[in-house]
Amino acid sequence: MTGEEQFERIDEITIKGLELDSGKAIPEVLQVYAMYGSPAPDGSNVILVCHAMTGSHHLSGPAVPGLPDAWFGPLVGPGRALDTKRLCVICVNNLCSPYGSSSPMSVNSATGHPWAMTFPVITPRDVARAQKRALEAIGVRKIRMALGGSFGGMIAIEHALSFPGDVSSCGVIAAPTRLYPQAIAYNEVQRKAILSDPDWAGGDYYPGQGPVSGLATARMLAMITYRSEQNFNGRWMRSMADDSADRHEWGSKFKVESYLDHHGSEIVSRFDANCYLYTTRAMDLHDVGAGRGGIERAFAALADRDVLAVGISSDILFPNWQVMEVARLAGKSGARAAYEEIDSDNGHDAFLIDFDQLDEILRFFFKQKGI
């Protein structure tokens, strides 16, 4: 394929009998994916990008109906850090995402109704396992690097740990080895906002829109954790959305309140509340040491592998020390581990904003490792 607007291929694959960490199984799983470039037969040029919580498989290129805007565009394409002239970049839509892969929105063939809250609880390891099965089904067994940010970083590291013989290197951006209590607390408050909305109806709100207010409120809290105090101060400080409004009346709003309102409304227009519940719970269950004898023993699978950990200086959701821990423990276990940092006031979202720094970090790493 030639031309920047033609290099994205979106397709889907169905896999049978996916076993989960919980001991449960999903009889049939649909996986939607996007591919940019062509894979080498030995997988030596394949970069698997794992997307974040409310992102999708649509990494780059023009708008696609029904999908959010491309979120990794400045890094994917001819001549970019993930250069599709020589690399094949693949992104598989996560389980429990509303953008095509199996989720609570999907119809359970056994009942003829949406799974809703009967869908099994999943972990990042389950997501990686499903993606691995999908990759094999399309003929891609080995990958040069699993790379992801935030929830995607948790999935990327699970690819490397679960399939060390097939994954040569790993890139973890703004993600920890396990979820710490404060992040779990943020997620629980978000879920409470959804669960306490009467329109949630126990999750059985399909085909309706569901808990609009609850989902919007959940996202508003999330947006606070995605930015930093420096960012909020620098953008608005105490500015009012309408300078002519009387700030002593309830109808007036600070600019930061309007910002949160906007993002609350935006998520309702494109995301599903049950999917939000399942994905935040999957994040809570992230622990690379679970079932592997602890974190340090788990990282032994990365011996002689290349590991890149990228933290963010102002991240309050997954502080930089948690990402440093990835590099430290991987290095201690024999991996060739490096830590880099995005210096930004943009908080956790810096990996989706400060592309110039991430581009430089990835190019340098790829040059060092011959990718």
Per-residue pLDDT of the chain (371 residues; tens, 9 = 90+): 344 445 899 999 999 999 999 999 999 999 999 999 999 999 999 999 999 999 999 999 999 999 999 999 999 999 999 999 999 999 999 999 999 999 999 999 999 999 999 999 999 999 999 999 999 999 999 999 999 999 999 999 999 999 999 999 999 999 999 999 999 999 999 999 999 999 999 999 999 999 999 999 999 999 999 999 999 999 999 888 777 777 888 888 989 999 999 999 999 999 999 999 999 999 999 999 999 999 999 999 999 999 999 999 999 999 999 999 999 999 999 999 999 999 999 999 999 999 999 999 999 999 999 99
In whole angstroms, give the CA distance from residue 132 to residue 163: 9
**Residue 306 designated active-site:** no
For position 243, what pLDDT does the model report?
77
In whole angstroms, give the CA distance from residue 146 to residue 143: 7
> Can 8-179+287-369 and 183-280 be said to share one CATH topology?
no
Identify which of 276, 277, 297 has the alpha carbon closest to the alpha carbon of residue 287: 297
Domain topology for 183-280: Rna Polymerase Sigma Factor; Chain: A (1.10.1740)
For position 2, what pLDDT does the model report?
40
For position 252, what pLDDT does the model report?
84
State the number of CA atoms in the 13 A half-sphere of 26 facing the CB. Answer: 28
For position 1, what pLDDT does the model report?
35
Architecture of the structural domain at 8-179+287-369:
3-Layer(aba) Sandwich (3.40)
Identify which of 167, 162, 93, 152 has the alpha carbon closest to the alpha carbon of residue 283: 152
Task: Please state the pTM of the whole predicted model.
Answer: 0.96
β-pairing verdict for 306-312 and 169-173: parallel
Q: Judge contact between 205 and 213, C-beta under 8 A.
A: no
Catalytic residue selected from 106, 150, 168, 333: 150
In whole angstroms, give the CA distance from residue 76 to residue 213: 35
Residue the block writes with tokens 């990996």: 351
Catalytic residue selected from 51, 57, 159, 348: 348
For position 7, what pLDDT does the model report?
80
The domains of the chain are located at 8-179+287-369, 183-280
For position 249, what pLDDT does the model report?
80
For residue 67, give every residue at least 6 positions away whose Cβ sits within 8 Å of its Cβ, in sequence order, or none.
56, 57, 58, 99
Residue 254 DSSP symbol = B
In whole angstroms, give the CA distance from residue 259 to residue 65: 25
**Residue 199 designated active-site:** no
Identify which of 181, 159, 176, 178 has the alpha carbon closest to the alpha carbon of residue 168: 159
Catalytic residue selected from 197, 287, 315, 349: 315
For position 246, what pLDDT does the model report?
75
**Residue 57 designated active-site:** no
CA–CA distance from 203 to each of 22, 207, 216, 252, 342 (Å)? 21, 11, 16, 34, 39
Q: b or e along 155-176 (b: 16 or more beta carbons within 10 Å of the residue's beta carbon)?
A: bbbbbbbbbbebbbbbbbbbbb
- H-run or E-run covering 146: strand 145-149
